[in-house]
Amino acid sequence: MTQRVGIEVSRAVAIAARLANVDVVAAYPITPQTHIVEDLSEMVASGELDASYIPVESEHSAMSSCLGSAAVGARTFTATASQGMELMHEVLYVASGMRLPIVMAVANRALSAPISIWGDHSDVMSVRDTGWIQIFVTNGQEAFDNIFCAFRIGEDRRVLLPVMIHLDGFQLTHVIEPIYLEDQDKVDKFLPPNEYPLPLDPDRPVTMGAFGPPDIYTEVKKAQDVVLTSSKEVILEAWKEFGDIFGRYYSPIQCYRCEGAKVLLMTMGSFSETAMSAVDAMRDDGNAVGLLNLRLWRPFPFAEIRQAVKDIDVLIVFDRALSFGGPGGPVCSEVRSALYNLDKKPKVVGFVGGLGGRVVSLAGFREIIERGTRIAKEGTEQEFEMFGVRE
Amino acid sequence: MTNTAGLVEIRWHGRGGQGAVTSAELLAQAAINEGKYAQAFPAFGAERRGAPVVAFVRIDSDNPIRVRAEIDEPDVVVVLASDLLRVVNVSSGLKADGILLINTPKTADEIIKEYHYKWALATVDATRIARETLGVPIVNTAMVGALLKAAEVTKLDSLIEPLKHRFGRLADKNINAMQKAYEGTTVRGKSN
């Protein structure tokens, strides 16, 4: 029976991994991901989850263990954040290059120095080009639901790629909120067993991760790009079927009160809900504003974004990461580039804020929308603006 | 008693180990079990035993809670350790019609004389109740009971299931602490 319970989001993510019937969890604890893997370790120890929990000595080893277990066809889950993800960085490319459908929950957190345990998207942006499918969630329910979607998408024979589910550290991982926990039968109906087509098997030897000399490397990378780009069709299909079974539908971008809007704000992750409240307040005051909540970060949803902004005048993009000495926020930079060659396009204004756990309030998002609209009208020399910074 | 319609925002001040975070969690779970929307979370930091900690609860009977920010203008402030009154500005941002609930052996009059609070004030000697019922000065469950007397944001009965789930064989003692504190809380209206 589906149950609506008040539960910490991290614990719900661990339950989702259990319901997905994972075979192997290899992880190293790091704030704010800790509760996810603590719970999984307890579930394995108590026999509630029939899986191997590999308590590795570092994140590099965590991801390396995941490569091995995914290669034999075991359903493999891990979680990390921040410096932990940096430590496993080089192995992330191997997971995607070898087409291993590992699922990883990332409790998004800032990067050192200075040391910050708090949330932003710096860690995400550092792994942007690792070839993983990357989905951002807005609340605990989306985090729970998308664990199932991640396995279903990644293990699909048309895809065979690793998937990251990004949930903001603390703002999601440490919050107790109402979540519908689904029952095993329904999950099983949505998520078939993992049938990895060419697993490592002593009786049927295969070579994996072979040498790629210049006469083949380019073709392999082209194939990888094609499969990641075309995985969008499978993602849409999985989200559609998830919605048909569970009643909750997801899309690459969520358009919130976009009807008739001339100004749209774009955000990613947990702050989107606060931003929605700001949009509500501004709509109440008669402003034609709306919100685009970007869920699918990779593959980047070019068509959906172009469609969503075709009739607007101003697009304000809020980033929680900074490209030092560059164009400011990575999301804004990509959106600008996606729109550049269009004949008719909105003015794009970038803000960077919410770094290292700095909260942006409802009033803050309202200020961002108002200021962004003004900048679009008056023009600016700056590539972006830092929001809420003391100078 | 504070207004309990619509959104109610509660901020908890305690010291690490007293259970402020647990209080917040239990209260949110009880509200969610009643079919309401609720959110509970700690102030995200490096928590240590004995250091001042803060936790937050939002409860809304009608609408999902979307705001993911700390509570700056609470309707209710709960103080688990009265020595914090000298250390932390616990009443910061408390709404004019809000209520302050303090764990103290002192009376409301004594507290007001000392701190000149202008809000409605509820007091309870939760430490004594916790010692008597649990044998330890951990006041989290007692303070949930006291809160429900000061502001009826959920039914007292709705806490029983979350307490059983959380405390197992110690649940009965904690339920007792909660009920004793509910009965032992005095509420004094706003000073003029």
Q: How many Cβ pairs within 8 Å bridge chains A and B?
A: 71
The confidence score (pLDDT) of residue B4 equals 47
The string of DSSP letters for B47-59 reads --TTSEEEEEEEE
Tell me the domain boundaries of chain A: 3-246, 253-386
Residue whose structure tokens are 């490319």: A93
Whether pLDDT at B45 is above 80: no
**Do B25 and A170 make contact, defined as CB atoms within 8 angstroms?**
no
In terms of Cβ atoms closer than 10 Å to its own Cβ (0-12, 13-18, 19+), residue B129 is buried
Q: Which whole number is the average pLDDT over B24-53?
A: 91
Q: How far apart are CA B192 and CA A194, in angstroms?
A: 69
- According to the model, what pLDDT value does residue B2 have? 44
CB A141 within 8 Å of CB A242: no
Q: Which residues of B43-73 are buried (b: 16+ CB within 10 A; e: fewer)?
A: bbeeeeeeebbbbbbbbbbeeebbbbbbbee
* Cis peptide upstream of residue A299 (ω within 30 degrees of 0): yes
Q: What is the pTM of this model?
A: 0.96
The answer to whether the Cβ–Cβ distance between A171 and B68 falls below 8 Å is yes
> In angstroms, rounded to a whole number, what is the distance separating the alpha carbons of residues B27 and B10?
10
Inter-chain CB proximity B65 and A177 less than 8 Å? yes
Among all residues of chain A, which has the CA nearest to that of B41?
A: A175
Percent of chain B with pLDDT over 70: 95
Instruction: Please tell me the distance from the alpha carbon of residue A31 to that of residue A224, in angstroms, as a whole number.
Output: 32
d(CA B168, CA A131): 46
Q: B191 φ, ψ to 5°?
A: -75, 145
Average pLDDT, chain B: 93
Quote the crossing angle between the two packed helices B171-183 and B126-134, to the nearest 10°.
150
pLDDT of residue B49: 80
Asked if B156 and B182 count as a contact pair (C-beta separation under 8 A), the reply is yes
d(CA B144, CA B152) in angstroms, rounded, equals 11
Question: What is the mean pLDDT of each successive set of 10 residues along chain A, which is 391 residues long?
Answer: 96 98 98 97 98 98 98 98 98 98 98 96 98 98 98 98 98 97 97 96 92 96 98 98 98 98 98 96 97 98 98 98 95 98 97 96 96 96 93 89
**Under CATH, what is the fold of the domain A253-386?**
Rossmann fold (3.40.50)
Q: Are strands A76-80 and A24-27 parallel, antiparallel or unpaired?
A: parallel
Q: Own/partner pairs for A233-240, CB < 8 Å, 24+ apart?
A: A233/A158, A234/A153, A234/A156, A234/A158, A234/A159, A235/A133, A235/A135, A235/A149, A235/A153, A235/A296, A235/A299, A238/A149, A238/A152, A238/A153, A238/A156, A239/A149
Using CB atoms, which residue from A5, A170, A175 is nearest to B32?
Answer: A5
Give per-residue pLDDT as tens, B135-168.
999 999 999 999 999 999 999 999 999 999 999 9
Q: What is the largest CA-CA distance in chain A?
A: 69
User: Per residue in A179-190, pLDDT tens?
Assistant: 999 999 999 999
Residue B3's pLDDT is 44
Which CATH superfamily, name and number, covers A3-246? Thiamin diphosphate (ThDP)-binding fold, Pyr/PP domains (3.40.50.970)
ipTM of the complex: 0.93
Among B32, B72, B162, select the one facing A178 at the smallest CB separation.
B32
Distance CA A53, CA A25 (A): 5
* CA nearest neighbour of A105 among A72, A69, A56, A154: A154
Determine the residue of chain B that is closest to A179 in CA distance.
Answer: B32
Q: Could you give the CA distance from residue B35 to residue B24 in angstroms, rounded to a whole number? A: 17
pLDDT (0 to 100) of residue B25? 97
Instruction: Find chain B residues with C-beta within 8 A of A8's C-beta.
Output: 25
- At B56-87, the pLDDT tens digits run 999 999 999 999 989 999 999 999 999 999 99
| Among the listed residues B135, B153, B131, the one whose alpha carbon sits nearest the alpha carbon of residue B144 | B153
Q: What does the longest C-alpha to C-alpha distance in chain B come to?
A: 46
Check A274 against B65: CB less than 8 A apart: no
Which pLDDT band holds residue B46 (cuts at 50, 70, 90)? Answer: low
How far is residue A335's CA from residue A343's CA, in Å, rounded to a whole number? 15
Interface test with A, best of B44, B56, B67, B70 (most A CBs within 10 A): B44
Same fold, A3-246 and A253-386: yes
Question: What confidence score (pLDDT) does residue B44 get?
Answer: 75
The answer to whether the beta carbons of residues A162 and A103 sit under 8 Å apart is yes
Candidates B41, B46, B72; nearest CB to A174: B41
- pLDDT at site A377: 96
Task: Dump pLDDT digits (tens) for B84-106.
Answer: 999 999 999 999 999 999 999 99
